[in-house]
């Protein structure tokens, strides 16, 4: 694991909250940290330069999407995704396994919000077998078999610093028997992923197109604590994992999600940085950090912006700038926010841009939301270092 390290700097006296540093060949990540989703090698409505100006530490891209467009070979020919998209900081790629879930059932966030009841199974997912997952491309309908070995090969072509093993993320509403079957198959896929990763490192002079890489294991088991225990044991005994990610179904409500994550995190020690896959609502992060989660990823900050919603330090958490009450509002989104959008533009102007379908409106709100999330994580890190996390959470909210 050349050029990689993980260190815990400060732990709360009243919870498992901690600050730390993940060192990678492309820079360090101060944790707790939020990872922004550049799924197709781009942050929606935001350039890499803007992301840096808004204090972004690390971004994530998606193996499945990039294998279809533009193809991992093209990215490798550029010298890796860092050069391809002009991002020079740390990067993470998921394994493509999440698409087994999302193409078949919808996203984890949709499930927690209760939307899975309304969804019809997507036929893009054709079959899951011991060999891997058979997909139909959403671009041209062509068939692709994604295996643990292929996922690792693609992630090495892409060249992110941190990569994930190949897994299946089971939905909430399947039986426990299938969750157990899927989890154990994911463990076998994980072993194959790790073997493929180690073999490639042994026989190639470079590790991935952009340099050396480290790999995360994924803890599965759905909402069943005994299965989570089994998956935790499997991952902790796999000694070559740099980090551990919490994956799979987390329940059908936020309350259940909190209980499942708290249980899992309580079983993990300081040896690995802990990542929570696909969850990152600001209102949840406070609790999740207290239980020992170090990094988060979620599409919500940029997705909300594309729907005209700006993040705010309120219990509701956001405002809809398309609302007519902002038509003549001369105030910024937040007068105390230090982002360029709040420094230079009024809600009235942003409202006008959205109503006029001007793309600049999406860009400006996206910049604010990215700055907001990074500012939140900086505030949380400071509070943990001062051992005042509970007080900081109360002070964060303005209403």
Catalytic residue (choose from 281, 284, 297, 334): 297
DSSP structure string for 276-325: ETT---HHHHHHHHHTT--EEEESHHHHHHHTTEEE-SSSS-EEETTSGG
Apex 375 CA angle, 374 and 377, nearest 5: 65
Whether 226 sits among the annotated catalytic residues: the reply is: no
Whole-angstrom Cα distance, residue 103 to residue 107? 8
Give every CB contact of residue 55 below 8 A, 6+ residues apart in sequence.
371, 374, 375, 378
Residue 231 near residue 221 (C-beta atoms within 8 A):
yes
Alpha-carbon distances, residue 187 vs 23, 95, 127, 250 (angstroms): 27, 14, 18, 18
C-alpha–C-alpha distance, residues 325 and 302, integer Å: 23
Question: Is 161 one of the annotated active-site residues of the chain?
Answer: no
Contact 111, 105 (CB under 8 A): yes
In DSSP notation, 202-217 reads: HH-SSSSTTS--EEEE
Cβ atoms of 43 and 51 closer than 8 Å: yes
**Enzyme catalytic residues:** 94, 297
């Amino acid at each position: 694991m050349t050029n990689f390290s993980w260190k815990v700097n400060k732990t709360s006296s009243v919870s498992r909250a901690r600050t730390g540093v993940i060192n990678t060949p492309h820079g360090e990540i101060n944790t707790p940290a939020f990872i922004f989703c550049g799924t197709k090698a781009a942050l929606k409505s935001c350039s890499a330069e803007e992301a840096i100006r808004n204090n972004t530490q690390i971004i994530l891209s998606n193996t499945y999407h990039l294998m279809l467009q533009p193809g991992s070979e093209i990215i490798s020919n550029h010298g890796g995704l860092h050069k391809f998209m002009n991002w020079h900081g740390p990067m993470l790629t998921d394994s493509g396994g999440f698409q087994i879930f999302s193409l078949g059932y919808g996203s984890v966030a949709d499930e927690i919000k209760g939307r899975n009841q309304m969804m019809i199974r997507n036929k893009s997912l054709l079959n899951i077998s011991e060999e891997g997952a058979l997909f139909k491309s959403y671009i041209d309908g062509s068939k692709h078999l994604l295996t643990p070995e292929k996922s690792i090969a693609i992630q090495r072509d892409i060249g992110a610093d941190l990569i994930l093993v190949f897994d299946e993320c089971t939905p909430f509403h399947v039986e426990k028997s299938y969750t157990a079957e899927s989890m154990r198959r994911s463990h076998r896929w994980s072993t194959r992923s790790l073997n493929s990763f180690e073999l490639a490192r042994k026989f190639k002079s470079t590790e991935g197109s952009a340099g050396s890489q480290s790999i995360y294991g994924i803890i599965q088991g759905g909402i069943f604590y005994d299965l989570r225990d089994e998956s935790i044991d499997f991952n902790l005994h796999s000694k070559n994992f740099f980090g551990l990610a919490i994956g799979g179904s987390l329940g059908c409500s936020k309350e259940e999600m909190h209980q499942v994550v708290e249980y899992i995190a309580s079983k993990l020690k300081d040896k690995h940085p802990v990542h929570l896959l696909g969850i990152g609502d600001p209102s949840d992060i406070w609790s999740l950090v207290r239980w020992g989660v170090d990094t988060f990823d979620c599409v919500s900050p940029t997705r909300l912006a594309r729907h005209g919603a700006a993040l705010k330090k309120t219990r509701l958490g956001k405002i809809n700038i398309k609302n007519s009450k902002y038509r003549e509002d001369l105030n910024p989104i937040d007068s105390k926010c230090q982002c360029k959008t709040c420094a230079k533009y009024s809600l009235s102007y942003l409202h006008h841009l959205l109503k006029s379908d001007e793309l600049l409106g999406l860009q400006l709100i996206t910049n604010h939301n990215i700055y907001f999330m990074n500012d939140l994580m900086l505030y949380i890190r400071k509070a943990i270092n001062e051992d005042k996390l509970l007080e900081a959470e109360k002070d964060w909210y303005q209403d």
